[in-house]
């Protein structure tokens, strides 16, 4: 089952990446912005919002919400509302999840008797 989840998550990364790449970033379509005295670097609030969004994507992956379609690019987690770069954060969270799953699988190949290996299809 874990291998199926990793494969489905990989497919979700591909879909999210393609969706992010195909989205329109034409500056002509954006409303004009007025000059402000705000710094151009992300603020602590922006960083916290991005972290919450990424964490929400990560939770969706771990709970299977992406696999069952509850969460998707078209229906992102509520924590991502108004967060710029949500699709990129989703892809990053999914990539990290896959890397951790791959590491766990490699570790279990070395020692299949480890408790965290229970349920993995290791010969």
- Rounded to an integer, what distance in angstroms lies between the CA atom of residue 11 and that of residue 33? 36
- Rounded to an integer, what distance in angstroms lies between the CA atom of residue 74 and that of residue 59? 17
For residue 85, report the phi and psi dihedrals to the nearest 5 degrees.
80, 25
The pTM of this model reads: 0.59
Q: Which tens digit of pLDDT belongs to each residue from 26-44?
A: 444 444 444 444 555 558 8
Once rounded to an integer, what is the mean pLDDT over residues 78-100?
93
Q: Does 97 score more than 90 pLDDT?
A: yes
Q: Which tens digit of pLDDT belongs to each residue from 7-27?
A: 455 555 444 444 444 444 444
């Amino acid at each position: 089952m874990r291998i199926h989840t990793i494969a489905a998550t990989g497919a979700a990364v591909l879909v999210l990446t393609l969706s992010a790449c195909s989205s329109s970033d034409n500056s002509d379509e954006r409303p004009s912005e007025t000059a402000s005295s705000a710094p151009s670097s992300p603020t602590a609030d922006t960083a916290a919002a991005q972290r919450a969004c990424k964490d929400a994507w990560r939770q969706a992956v771990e709970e299977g919400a992406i696999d069952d379609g509850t969460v998707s690019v078209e229906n992102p987690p509520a924590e991502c509302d108004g967060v710029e770069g949500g699709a990129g954060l989703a892809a990053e969270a999914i990539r990290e999840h896959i890397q951790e799953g791959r590491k766990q699988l490699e570790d279990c190949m070395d020692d299949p008797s480890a408790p965290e290996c229970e349920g993995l299809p290791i010969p």
